[in-house]
Chains A and B, each alone.
Chain A
Amino acid sequence: MLELKGLSKHFGGVRAVDGLDLNVPRGEVFGLIGPNGSGKSTVVNLVCGLFPVTAGQVLLRNEDITELASHVRVARGVSRTFQNIRLFGQLSVWQNLWVAQNAIEHRSESFLRRWLGGPGRAREEIDRILEFSDLSGKRDELAGNLAFGEQRRLELARAIVAKPALLLLDEPAAGMNAEEIDQLDARIRKLKQDGLTVLLIEHHMELVMAVTDRIAVLNFGQKIAEGTPDEVQTNRLVQEAYLGVAEAA
C-alpha cells in the first residue's frame, strides 16, 4: 500500500528524516515508534504532503505521489489525524465531517449538488460515521465546545469521512485515559476489518504492542529496527535507543 524509498527531510542542518525505506502492506496496522525527535511526525507530514521532501519518494499503491498537493493525496486515499487536535472549532461536529467529504466518489457528484446542496443528501453517510465514533448526540455542537475525548474521536471521524485507503494516525492516544484507549483500540481493529491500512505513530506502548501487526522503530530519522511487536520489544538496539546504553562497570 505505502512505500517510502530513501525518504529524507532536512531542515537546514537538521536531518529530521534520513534515507528512510519503509513498506507498509495493504490491510495491516503498522506501528511507527521511536524516542522524541526521531522524526515520526515528520514522516506523517511528508506522506500526507504538508512538507515537501528533500529527497526520496512516497509511493501509494505503486503510484508516485511525492509531488502531489495535500488535497490531491486525500482524493487518492491518504487521510491523517493531528497530534495537536486541529478541528474547526467554530463549526459544528456535523460540519467538520461534511467539509471532509473529499473522496473521489464525492468529487464525482455534480458541482451544484456537492457544494450548494443542503445537508440532507450527506446525512446517511455522516450519521454512520458519527455512530461509529460515538458522537451521534453531539451533531450540532460546536467542535470547540466538545470535551477532550470527544474531540479526539471527532478528529478520527473526520479522517475517515474521505474514505481513505491509508490512514495516518499521529499519536491518537495522547492524553487519553485507559477506557478511551480501549475504545480507540476497538475502533482501529474495526477499521482494519473494513480493509483500511493504518500507519500508527504512538508513544503508548501497550496500545502499539496490542493493536499493530508490525512495527518500525526510528531514531534520529533512521530506521533502526523492524519486525513484529515481540521481535521489536526484545531488540537490543531499540532498548538502547529508548533507555540508553548501560555504562561499562
Chain B
Amino acid sequence: MSYLQVVDTLQSIADGVLFGATYSLLGIGFTLVFGVMHKINLSYAAASIGAAYASLIILSVVKAPAIFIFLLAGIAGGIIGGAIYFVCFRFIPQANPLATLMSTVGALLLIDEIIVHATVGIPVPYPALFSDVIVNAGPFTLRGDLMFMFALGCLSMLLLLGLLYRTKLGLATRAVSQQPAAAQLCGISIPRVNGLTFVITGAVGGIAGAMIGAAIGVLSPLLSLPLTTKGLIVTVIGGLGSIPGAIIAGLLVGGFENLFQYFRGVTERDLYVMLLLFAFLVFRPGGIFSPAAGRN
C-alpha cells in the first residue's frame, strides 16, 4: 500500500471511531436496560431519533442558540423513555419476555409512524455544528463536527458513569440488576428504578439521536431500523450488560464500519459489519467484557 493509502485508511478509521461515539451511546442504552431488567427495548433507536425530531421542534419554539439542541434532545429523550417504560413494561408481567419484546416493536412502529405523519415523510435538516471547522494535523484532517460529537459523547458517558457509581440512584440501579428480590427487601422500589433507568437511557439516546442528526445533517425515519441493528450489534459485541464493553464496542464498530466502507464501498459495508458480529459470536460469545456468570 502506498503512503497515501495508509494515510487514507487511518483517516477513515479515525473518522469512524469519532462517529462511533454515537454507537457507543446507543449501545449503552440497550445494555443498561438489559442489565437492569434483562429485556431488550427494540424501540430505543427509534425513540432516540424521535427525541432528535422533538428537539428541533422545541428549538424552533424556544429560539435558543443551536448548541442547546443537544440538551433539548436529552430532555425529550428522557420523557419519551419514561413513556416507553410505562406502555411497554410497567403493566406487562416481567415473566413474559415475548410480550414485552413485542410491545417494544409496537412502540417502534408507533414512533416511526408519528414521525412520518408529522414530517409528511420528508427528511428534515438538522443543525450541523462545527461542520465548517477543520483541524489539520499533519497529513490528517480532523472534522470539527466529528470531534465535537466525540467530545459530547465522552461527556455524556462520564455523566452517566458518575450517575451510576456516585449517586444513590445509581447504587439502587446496580442493586436491582444484580438481585431484584433482595433489592426490594431493602426497600428499593423496582418499578421506580426501572422507570428511572428508562428515563436516563432515554436521555442518553436523545443526545445520541441529536449527534447522528448533526453528523449526517438530516433526520429521517428511515434511520431507526439500521440504527437499531447497529446498536444491538454493539451491545452484543461489548457484552450484554457491560457499559465499558458498549463504549469500546461502539468505537470499534464505528471504526471498522468506515474501514470496510473505504475498502469495499457502501453497499458491501454492512455485510462485513455482520461478519464482524459473527466472528465475535463464534470466538467470544460473551462479548468483550462478559459480565460474570453466576452459579447454575
What residues make up the interface of A, taking CB atoms closer than 8 Å to B? 11, 45, 50-51
Q: B residues touching A (Cβ–Cβ < 8 Å)?
A: 295-296
Which chain A positions have C-beta within 8 A of B296?
45, 50-51
Interfacial chain B residues near A51, Cβ < 8 Å: 296
Which A residues are CB-close (under 8 A) to B295?
11
Task: Give the residues in chain B near A50, CB-CB below 8 Å.
Answer: 296
* 4 residue pairs A–B, Cβ–Cβ below 8 Å: A11-B295, A45-B296, A50-B296, A51-B296
Task: Tell me the minimal C-beta distance from B97 to chain A in angstroms.
Answer: 14
Docked Cα-Cα span, A11 to B295, in Å, equals 8
Q: Is chain B's interface secondary structure helix, strand, loop, or mixed overall?
A: loop
Query: With the chains together, A238 CA to B36 CA distance in Å?
Result: 43
A51–B295 alpha-carbon span in the complex (Å): 10
Give every chain B residue within 8 A of A11 (Cβ-Cβ): 295
Least Cβ–Cβ distance between B294 and chain A, in angstroms: 10
Write the nearest CB–CB distance from B219 to chain A, whole angstroms: 44
> Which single residue of chain A is at the shortest CB-CB distance from B295?
A11
Distance (whole angstroms) from the CB of A16 to the closest CB of chain B? 9
Complex-state Cα separation, A104 to B296, whole angstroms: 28
Complex Cα spacing A50 to B296, Å = 9
C-alpha gap A50/B295 in the complex (Å): 11
- Of chain B, the residue at the smallest CB distance from A45 is B296
CA distance A51 to B296 in the complex (A): 8
Q: B292: nearest residue on chain A (CB-CB)?
A: A12
Question: Closest B-chain residue to A50, C-beta based?
Answer: B296
How near does chain B come to A40, taking the closest CB pair, in angstroms?
15
- In the A-B complex, list the 4 residue pairs whose CB atoms are closest, starting with the nearest: A11-B295, A50-B296, A51-B296, A45-B296
How far is the CB of A52 from the nearest CB of chain B, in Å?
11
CA distance A45 to B296 in the complex (A): 10
Cα(A216)–Cα(B295), bound, Å: 25
The distance from the CB of B95 to the nearest CB of chain A, in whole angstroms, is 11
CB-nearest residue of chain B to A16: B295
Residues from chain B with Cβ under 8 Å of A45 in the complex? 296
Q: For residue B167, give the distance in angstroms from its CB to the closest CB of chain A.
A: 31
Inter-chain CA distance A134–B126, complex, in Å, is 71
**Closest residue of B by beta carbon distance from A11:** B295
> Closest Cβ of chain A: how far from B184's Cβ, in Å?
19
How far, in angstroms, from A29 to B15 measured CA to CA in the complex? 70
The distance from the CB of A162 to the nearest CB of chain B, in whole angstroms, is: 22
B143 to chain A, nearest CB (A): 48
A51-B293 Cα distance, complex, nearest whole Å: 14
User: Smallest CB–CB gap between B18 and chain A, Å?
Assistant: 40
**Closest chain B CB from A38 CB (angstroms):** 16
Report Cα–Cα, A143/B296, bound state, in Å: 24
